Chain A
Amino acid sequence: MIRQGTTSLIDTCVWMPTSLEEAWDLKKKYGENAAFIAGGTLMQTHWAKGLNCPSHLISLDHMNEMKGWGEELVNGQTYTRLGAGITLDFCRQNKNLFHPLLVEAAKNIAAPAVRNRGTIGGNIANGFGDMIPALLAMDAFLTLYDGNSTHSLPLSDYIKTNNQSLIISVLVPEDQTKRFFYKKLCHREAFTPSVITVAGSFNLNEKRKLTAVRLALSGGSTHPQRLYESEQLLEGSTLTNNHLQKVYQVINEEFIPSTDPFSTATYKRLVASNWVVSEIARLAT
């Protein structure tokens, strides 16, 4: 039986720290030879494909800071705080606790057995998770630990850098007034990596103008992106066919997907532009 990659696991040492400081010190000590791990559902698929498993795994299972959920007031705004260790299935199942866009995203990730193990923190930290566009569309923040202190950072800033901080929790504004959409293009209907994932949100004021527009995209091989120029073009606008055509063109220019063995960047741009424009038109009428 072929078990590519798994032999590298035999000599792996697993650490079970109980504090952020301990976890961070272990990572500092072992550097590139160590990796933080929670559910590990994605990491294990990488190792099975032949990527070397680090010789030290630092389990985050005992981090109390990464567990549970609750409300937090930050600068007068109420946020839902989700511990990074919350599973994707917990997000999917708790419609009464979490923003519907978060629930919708969780519903579209993997399959039940994987969602029972995979965490929201892991989905973000891997850099390509399908939760990221939804969280970007909701203006989510991350609480991070960098070895010295705990601080908050907008997810939209986090994705721009190769941030190595430990994700402790995700803060989602409790604003349920915005209209939103979430769509994922895959090679089959369920449980398959995303070709592209599109999420957006906006308010529609009494004059039928769009405000607080957020558009975010990603994919299995495409880094998450906010479409700032397209958002700007929609901000304060009243939708007309001419304006939507202009938005379509700008999305097509602004979105930079990758070409992979199955889909070209041109195709992904086409789908993204079509989806965003049609979803905004649908939700704004």
Chain B
Amino acid sequence: MDMKEQAEVMTPPKMELSLTINGANYELQVPPTKRLVTILREELNFTGTKISCEVGRCGACAVQMNNQLVNSCLVMAYQANHASIITIEGLSGEELDPIQRVFLEEGGFQCGYCTPGMMMAVHALLATNQAPSEEQIQEALSGNLCRCTGYGGIIRAVQKAISNNNQK
């Protein structure tokens, strides 16, 4: 039997990719190794997800895939097939997400380039741990680099989000 009859193969140049992004379904044809960050930005215009180091070191491209934080530069199309993706655009509804609001209030950003990825990381943290310690906050953000703030404002923002949650 020919090998291609045995295993499913995603032959270049294109595969059928099915994605749910921020609750909406998308079907598109892309090379199986095309990176999720490129698909989001260039094919679907979700430019809130930023592209920077492209090797999973900076976290600017962080999104949630099936409720887990991932670097979209390290996810290939075939790995995201049938997945549910949340990008920064999916955090807020008609109003800002509480995490976005505390970043504004506490000066959790300056140039703002790392901010979408940073917020996705905070969102992933608070979804699983509503009262993280400072050490746990630092650990959760260890894959997100900020070259402006020195992290003080970011940590304050996360602590305020926790405090706001506790007061509800």
Contact = CB atoms under 8 A, between A and B. Distances in A.
Contact of B3 (A3, A29, A59): A29
B74 A16 contact: no
Interface string A1-38: 10100100111111111100011011001000000000
Contact of B74 (A11, A26, A114): A114
Q: Chain B contact residues (Cβ within 8 angstroms of A): what range?
A: 35 or more
Interface string B62-79: 100000111101111011
A53 interface: yes
Interface stretch (A40-48, A133-141, A271-279): A40-48
B68 A9 contact: no
Contact of B59 (A17, A61, A113, A117): A113
A112 interface: yes
Contacts of A9: 31, 33-34, 76
Contacts of B7: 15-18, 22-23, 26
Contacts, number: 114
A117 B70 contact: yes
Contacts of A112: 69, 121, 124, 139-140, 142-143
B143 A111 contact: yes
Interface string A257-278: 0000000000000000000000
Contacts of B50: none
B6 interface: yes
Q: Chain A contact residues (Cβ within 8 angstroms of B): what range?
A: 35 or more
Interface in B67-101: 68-71, 73-76, 78-79
Contact of A16 (B10, B57, B124, B139): B10
Interface in A229-267: none
Contacts of A227: none
B56 interface: yes
Contacts of B71: 113-114, 117
Contacts of B13: 10-11
Contacts of B54: 3, 6, 48
Contact of A191 (B57, B75, B76, B78): B57
Given A16-B9, A44-B56, A116 B3 contact: no
Given A41-B56, A117-B74, 5 more contacts: A10-B12, A16-B8, A112-B124, A113-B71, A190-B142
Interface of B: 3, 6-13, 15, 31-35, 51, 54-57, 59, 62, 68-71, 73-76, 78-79, 121, 124, 138-140, 142-144
